């Protein structure tokens, strides 16, 4: 008698998904606890965090500046196209500054780093997991958190906001430069527009976003790396998962922070 | 003394250990034999607390390993050297830094002169040239990596040494070198050792006692002579497969 085809059980499937999600939440919470425990060993994580900070900062500076420069230029050119004859030119200054500082600077930097740094962290830690290097650390009585997690997260929390500052400055500068090339706009017009609706909180908001994005860019890939299994295929899966999850979380945080901090 | 009582472990639907009883007396070297994928490494990881059992107890020096607090487990791990199957060396560190990580005493670890001296001594003990300490794992052969792994395990002067397949993937000459090294270290350091292996010939050369793990249970524990005299089908099957082309010492 042929085996009867297994029937799809909706309740069982939902139960499995819920349990899987709860397991992730539990493991992620444990990783966060380990992070705070690991902070107690600065002698171990500070030198490593310096190396990581250098890698994130110097290694990512060129691509971050390149993308933000193009974002600033395109924003200015599109603003000029849309407002031509409808609004005064100084509005271009307002739009470029606000778009870059409030949104494009931090979000584009976050997404670039999710790919560049997130993929690297997940692959590095994942490879260490499948080659038993993390087990080796534990067997030596050493904390994987203070050796691997804390340096990466701290470096990210420090360097991502720094990169966002650079991205904001270059984005606005490039928008200004581009606007002047193709529009009858003076420096005074652009400066006036940039300052007209600018509030000091805008810069803080950009940095607050950068700080939260840094958490997503570092914690999620490290989590994926620590929970890697099944060899090279598992490392590949963790790396892809880390980039996708960190990117999605950045977009979710972007919406959430706008709702929390910008709603009047 | 290491004592596992009724240890059970499953991963998902797969039962790996199913009521394992296993004892290693102080100063003894026990080889844990068994075909690949029978849970030998899983059993070894229970001893150092890298894996917790679903059931049963793992006792090392009277301490119930799965129930130890974080700091107690760390202190216990300082007294156990673990040699991983492929060395598990840290790619980003050179041999000196890798081996130095095995120094558990913080003051000694921070003392660079002591560290250099201790690392060089252990590197010599595992028959590697002192210049090796400047090399990175990627520049070493498989056999050298295993020996560096052993050096890292012994630099902290442990009471216990756990070897996970120390000769797997090596040619017979290098496997013999590692076996001799294990024997020499056990004699010189006076440690209690457990060696996981599926190489019966190597186990007979090195171990005081043997244990065979099969289908999640210890099928037999005993001396070489007891193993050779056994008429258990599982024991005979496992021994005969490996002995067809091997020479037995004193057997």
What is the per-residue pLDDT across B172-224, written as a single tens digit (0 to 9) for each? 877 888 888 888 888 888 889 999 988 888 888 889 999 999 888 898 998 88
Chain B positions in Cβ-Cβ contact with residue A139 (cut-off 8 Å): 48, 50, 77, 80, 82, 84
Which of A133, A142, A230 is the mutation pick for testing B, counting most B CBs within 10 A?
A133
Mean pLDDT across chain B: 88
Residues B120 and B49 reside in one and the same domain: no
Say which residue, B42 or B190, is predicted with more confidence.
Answer: B42
Which of B44, B50, B68 is the mutation pick for testing A, counting most A CBs within 10 A?
B50
Min mean pLDDT across A32-36, A222-226, B103-107 is at B103-107
Residues B53 and B114 reside in one and the same domain: no
What pLDDT score does A253 carry? 96
Residues B92 and B152 reside in one and the same domain: yes
Q: A58, A67 in Cβ contact below 8 A?
A: no
What pLDDT score does B112 carry? 92
How much is the ipTM here? 0.87
- Structural domain includes residue B129: yes
What's the helix, strand, coil split of chain B in %, to 5?
Answer: 45, 25, 35
Average confidence (pLDDT) over A212-229: 95
The count of structural domains within chain B is 2
What pLDDT score does A264 carry? 63
What pLDDT score does A88 carry? 85
- Give the confidence band of B38 by pLDDT, cuts at 50, 70, 90: confident
Residues B100 and B223 reside in one and the same domain: no
Sheet with B209-214, strands from edge to edge, namely B80-83, B160-164, B192-197, B29-33, B209-214, B217-222
- Give the confidence band of A231 by pLDDT, cuts at 50, 70, 90: confident
Cβ A133–B91 below 8 Å, yes or no? yes
pLDDT at position A5 over 70:
no
What pLDDT score does A224 carry? 95
Cβ A141–B101 below 8 Å, yes or no? no
Average confidence (pLDDT) over B60-66: 92
E strand map for chain B? 2-11, 14-24, 29-33, 55-60, 63-64, 80-83, 160-164, 192-197, 209-214, 217-222
Q: For residue B154, give the chain A residue with the closest CA.
A: A140
Smallest CA-to-CA distance from B102 within B124, B85, B83, B86 is with B83
Average confidence (pLDDT) over B101-125: 91
What is the per-residue pLDDT across A179-210, written as a single tens digit (0 to 9) for each? 998 888 889 989 999 898 888 899 999 999 99
Domain membership of residue B50 as a residue range: 1-75+169-184+196-251
Cβ A133–B86 below 8 Å, yes or no? no
Say which residue, A165 or B170, is predicted with more confidence.
Answer: A165
pLDDT at position A7 over 80:
no
Cβ A132–B90 below 8 Å, yes or no? no
Instruction: Work out the percent of chain A whose per-residue pLDDT is above 70.
Output: 97
Residues of B with CB under 8 A from a CB of A: 45, 48, 50, 74-75, 77-78, 80, 82, 84-86, 88-91, 101-102, 104, 152, 156
A45: closest CA of chain B, how far (Å)? 14
The tokens describing A39, both together, are: 């902070």
- Structural domain includes residue B218: yes
What is the per-residue pLDDT across A24-70, written as a single tens digit (0 to 9) for each? 999 999 999 999 999 999 999 999 999 999 999 999 999 999 999 99
Residues B96 and B144 reside in one and the same domain: yes
Say which residue, A254 or B249, is predicted with more confidence.
Answer: A254
Chain pair A-B, CB pairs under 8 angstroms: 44
- Structural domain includes residue B232: yes
Instruction: Work out the percent of chain B whose per-residue pLDDT is above 90.
Output: 48
- Domain CATH for B212: 3.40.50.300
Please tell me whether residue B18 adopts helix, strand or coil conformation. strand
- Give the confidence band of A3 by pLDDT, cuts at 50, 70, 90: low
Mean pLDDT across chain A: 92
For residue B136, the number of C-alpha atoms closer than 13 Å in the C-beta half-sphere is 5
Say which residue, A150 or B147, is predicted with more confidence.
Answer: A150
What is the per-residue pLDDT across B225-248, written as a single tens digit (0 to 9) for each? 888 888 888 888 887 776 654 445
Cβ A141–B78 below 8 Å, yes or no? yes
Residues B70 and B177 reside in one and the same domain: yes
What pLDDT score does A84 carry? 77
Average confidence (pLDDT) over A78-100: 87
Cβ B88–A136 below 8 Å, yes or no? yes
Alpha-carbon gap, residue A155 to A178, rounded angstroms: 34
Residues B84 and B124 reside in one and the same domain: yes
Residues B56 and B173 reside in one and the same domain: yes
- Give the confidence band of B251 by pLDDT, cuts at 50, 70, 90: very low
What is the per-residue pLDDT across B116-163, written as a single tens digit (0 to 9) for each? 999 999 998 888 899 999 999 999 988 889 889 999 999 988 999 999
Q: For residue B47, give the chain A residue with the closest CA.
A: A139
**Where in chain A are the domains?**
11-262
A249: closest CA of chain B, how far (Å)? 30
Alpha-carbon gap, residue A119 to A222, rounded angstroms: 10
User: Do the strands B63-64 and B55-60 form a parallel or antiparallel pair, or are they unpaired?
Assistant: antiparallel
Residues B20 and B143 reside in one and the same domain: no
Average confidence (pLDDT) over B109-122: 92
Cβ B50–A133 below 8 Å, yes or no? no
- Give the confidence band of A2 by pLDDT, cuts at 50, 70, 90: low
What pLDDT score does B200 carry? 85
- Identity of the residue in B74, B80, B88 whose CB atom sits nearest the CB atom of A133: B88
Residues B173 and B114 reside in one and the same domain: no
Residues B92 and B127 reside in one and the same domain: yes
Residues B139 and B180 reside in one and the same domain: no
Rounded to a whole number of angstroms, the distance between the first and last alpha carbons of chain B is 28
């Amino acid at each position: 008698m042929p085996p009867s085809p297994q029937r799809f059980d909706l309740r069982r499937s939902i139960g499995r998904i819920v349990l899987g999600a709860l397991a992730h939440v539990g493991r992620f919470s444990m990783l966060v606890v380990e992070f705070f425990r690991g902070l107690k060993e600065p002698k171990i994580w500070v030198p490593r965090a310096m190396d990581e900070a250098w890698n994130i900062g110097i290694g990512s500076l060129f691509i971050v500046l390149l993308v933000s420069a193009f974002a600033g230029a395109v924003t200015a050119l599109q603003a000029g196209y849309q407002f031509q004859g409808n609004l005064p030119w100084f509005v271009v200054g307002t739009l470029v500054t606000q778009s870059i500082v409030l949104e494009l600077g931090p979000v584009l930097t976050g997404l670039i780093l999710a790919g560049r740094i997130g993929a690297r962290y997940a692959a590095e830690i994942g490879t260490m997991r499948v080659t038993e290097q993390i087990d080796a650390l534990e067997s030596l009585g050493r904390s994987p958190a203070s050796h691997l997690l804390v340096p990466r997260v701290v470096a990210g929390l420090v360097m991502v906001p720094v990169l966002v500052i650079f991205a904001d400055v270059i984005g606005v500068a490039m928008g200004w430069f581009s606007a002047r090339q193709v529009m009858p706009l003076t420096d005074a017009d652009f400066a006036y527009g940039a300052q007209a609706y600018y509030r000091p909180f805008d810069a803080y908001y950009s940095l607050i976003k950068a700080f939260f994005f840094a958490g997503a860019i570092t914690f999620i890939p490290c989590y994926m790396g620590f929970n890697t299994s099944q060899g090279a295929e598992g490392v590949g899966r963790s790396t892809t998962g880390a980039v996708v999850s960190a990117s999605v979380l950045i977009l979710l945080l972007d919406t959430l922070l706008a709702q929390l901090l910008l709603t009047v | 003394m290491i004592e596992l009582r009724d240890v059970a472990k499953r991963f998902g639907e797969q039962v790996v250990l199913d009521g394992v009883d296993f004892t290693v007396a102080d100063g003894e070297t026990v080889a844990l034999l068994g075909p690949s994928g029978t849970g030998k490494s899983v059993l070894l990881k229970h001893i150092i607390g890298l894996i917790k059992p679903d059931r049963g107890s793992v006792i090392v020096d009277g301490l119930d390993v799965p129930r130890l607090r974080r700091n107690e487990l760390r202190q216990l791990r300082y007294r156990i050297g673990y040699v991983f199957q492929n060395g598990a060396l840290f790619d980003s560190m050179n041999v000196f830094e890798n081996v130095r990580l095995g120094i558990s005493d913080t003051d000694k670890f921070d003392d660079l002169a002591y560290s250099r001296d201790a690392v060089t001594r252990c590197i010599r003990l595992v028959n590697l040239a002192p210049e090796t300490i400047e090399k990175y794992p990627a520049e070493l052969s498989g056999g050298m990596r295993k020996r560096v792994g052993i050096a890292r395990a012994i630099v902290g002067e442990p009471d216990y040494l756990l070897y996970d397949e120390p000769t797997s993937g090596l040619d017979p000459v290098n496997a013999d070198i590692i076996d001799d090294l294990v024997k020499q270290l056990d004699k010189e350091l006076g440690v209690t050792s457990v060696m996981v292996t599926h190489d019966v010939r190597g186990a007979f050369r090195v171990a005081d006692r043997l244990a065979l793990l099969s289908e999640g249970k210890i099928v037999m524990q005993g001396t070489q002579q007891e193993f050779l005299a056994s008429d258990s089908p599982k024991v005979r099957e496992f021994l005969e497969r490996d002995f067809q082309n091997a020479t037995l010492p004193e057997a």
